[in-house]
Amino acid sequence: EFGKLADLPNLVDLVFVGNPIEEKYSSEGSWVEEATKRLTRLKKLDGVPVIKQVEEEAED
């Protein structure tokens, strides 16, 4: 069901505090990583701006 949120093009701010999914991944220490990996358009997660790390291409 969480994956269905990715189909919402205008979803940029999401609060999941207290949700069982958030609690599970937070206890594992991977909540922000998992949520932003699945919901790539997010700008804010649980009230905190999402900062996406851009991987630099390796030089030949």
Write out the DSSP string of 36-58.
HHH-TT-SEETTEE--PPPPPPP
Residues 18-43: tens digit of each pLDDT:
899 888 888 888 898 889 888 999 99
Mapping DSSP to helix (H, G, I), strand (E, B) and coil, where does residue 31 land?
A: helix
Using a cut of 0.75, tell me whether the model's pTM lies above it: no
CA distance 12 to 34: 15
pLDDT confidence of 53, banded at 50, 70, 90? low
Q: How far apart (Å, rounded) are the C-alpha atoms in residues 18 and 57? A: 38
- Strand order of the β-sheet with 13-14 is 13-14, 44-45, 48-49
